[in-house]
Amino acid sequence: MGGIVISRYTQQPIVNTAYRVFYTLDQWSILKINKLKTTIMKNWKPILVILAFMTCCFISCSTDDGSDEEPTNETSEGINVYTNAADPLLVEFIDAESNKIQYYGTRDAEGRPTGIERMVVATDDGKEQTYLYDSAGRPSYIYADNGTQFDLEWLDNETIALTVFTADGLNQINTIVDVNNPAPLQTNETNRVQQRTGRAQLNYKSIAGTTQGETSFSNGQNVFLNTYECFEKADVNNPYFIVQDEDGAFLRTISAQRIATGEYGATIPNDLAPSIDGQEICEGLGEFVVFACDLPPLPDGVLTAMCVTISSAIILTGIGAAAGAAILAACEEIVLAYELACAIVQIYGDLGAGEAICNANFINQTWTDDLIITGVVNALPTNFRSDPVVAPGLGPYPTIELDLGDETAVKSFFITPSAPASGQDYDAIARISCLRPGMVVEVSVVGTDGYTDSISYNITQTDALGEFTLNVPGADTGIQDTCTVNVYLELGGTLTRTASIVFGN
């Protein structure tokens, strides 16, 4: 354990609370986390009594095969700024407890940082939470250490259409988060509702190989990844490369950039890439980091509001105590890790003025010895990994081939618009890979107003990726619809995914 750190702002000790590795700058930070717990317990005490027990069982009894755990580099306390023009790691903060906050982002042709794309919080208990940011600097996708995933679609700066995926890939929760008023969702349980009329309609189309705006990719020494599914190139979710030294020690995770359908690339830092003067980038880099924590112009407590809303959604969807416990555990972890990251960042003073970062360690990270490179595709319940490839540190680097196989899977199931107004029709869209003759896809809807409908489609030819859209008539305010897609496989077995929405005003 390290010594006590004193905040430059408050001259108060940065304390390590008893229940969680979590630093706070002052009593406000402590109260913020306590407020989260108090709010959830106040609104959802009955369900959380059950889930608290299940959480204990889940955490103590679950196992982790470590397939997606990466060892961290041993680095001393302080701030490290990475100056290699090809390095996606921009800056990292390490505290006395060996908690590590890393910011990855984009650079221009000269190597100057142009934005933050990803923050990774690795705590000294071995856990890692990853936050992806959109072009507006808002968290857009979060990977929790226990495998739970959070997809945040920002409808505006105060409203999020949130989808939560359980680690096993079998359950998801759809809900709307009002960050200013994270009140429980209210469903209309009275009989005084207008009866819906009209049938739902199901449409099917093949979207295999659909082009999504192909871009060129060139910058220094590149490594490429080709991804296949059902025997043809296919786009995947958030692919990246794991880079290790020749002895297998972890060096870096590098996000891959889409080039074309099923084709991705990334740049490896090496001596062939220029190194930029750290003093030229420190002030601007500090502004990016502060922006990632302060999230202007968003209201404070975005992730806290998200967790409060999720607690109510768990009750409404009835996904089960075990799945609910895992989601709540993940939600608490990502809130605490985010607060930890911003608290550690603030320890070092006014980053917006660049003072602390301009006095950081400047590191021109280059690799000259052989590297082991692995391509990875995020998936549930486990990620896909290519065979490791050995390449010279200075290149040339390989094109890695990764085949996701030909097993049928529900790739996604979502509702649009994410927050339909009263009486507004919506679409429930399922994207299913590796369709084969003899399969049947059934999409159904059940509303709390008594409305039900179900439509099936018989698969008559092979399709690498098909999209099924169920158009559903709108309902009154407060009515909850639960949509389900069932894929009946040709040799037996069923794949199922559900999604729910509540009609607004």
Question: Domain coordinates of the chain in residue numbers?
Answer: 27-60+75-183+276-363, 222-268+367-403, 407-502
- SS3 annotation, 214-258: CCCCCCCCEEEEEEEECCEECCCCCCEEEEEECCCCEEEEEECEE
Question: pLDDT at position 248, please?
Answer: 92
| In contact, 85 and 111? CB cutoff 8 Å | yes
What token pair was written down for 99? 């908690």
Residues 6+ apart with CB under 8 A from 328: 48, 51, 55, 307, 310, 311, 314
Question: pLDDT at position 211, please?
Answer: 53
- CA 418/CA 440 separation, integer angstroms: 26
- CA 96/CA 56 separation, integer angstroms: 29
What token pair was written down for 161? 């259409």
Nearest CA among 184, 140, 186, 413 for reference residue 310: 184
Q: Please give the DSSP secondary-structure letter assigned to residue 450.
A: S
- CA 172/CA 176 separation, integer angstroms: 14
Mean pLDDT (the chain) is 78
- CA 400/CA 390 separation, integer angstroms: 11
| In contact, 463 and 435? CB cutoff 8 Å | yes
Among all chains, which residue has been given the structure tokens 């359980």? 166
Quick check: bond before 396 cis, omega within 30? Answer: yes
| In contact, 392 and 370? CB cutoff 8 Å | yes
Question: pLDDT at position 39, please?
Answer: 43
- CA 65/CA 426 separation, integer angstroms: 40
Give me the numbers of helices (H) and strands (E) for the chain, helices first please.
Answer: 5, 31
Same topology between domain 222-268+367-403 and domain 407-502: yes
Beta bridge partners of residue 122, listed in sequence order: 100, 128
Superfamily designation of domain 407-502: Immunoglobulins (2.60.40.10)
Question: pLDDT at position 454, please?
Answer: 93
Q: What CATH number has the domain spanning 222-268+367-403?
A: 2.60.40
Instruction: Name the burial class of residue 375, with classes exposed (0-12), middle (13-18) and buried (19+) by CB atoms within 10 angstroms of its CB.
Output: buried
Nearest CA among 148, 143, 119 for reference residue 288: 119
Question: pLDDT at position 132, please?
Answer: 93
- CA 308/CA 427 separation, integer angstroms: 27
- CA 315/CA 184 separation, integer angstroms: 10
Q: Which residues of the chain have pLDDT under 50?
A: 1-67, 69-73, 190-191, 219, 352-353
Q: Where are the beta strands (DSSP E) in 68-210?
A: 78-82, 89-94, 100-107, 113-122, 128-133, 139-143, 149-156, 159-165, 172-178, 201-206
What token pair was written down for 108? 């221009």
Among all chains, which residue has been given the structure tokens 């930890």? 340
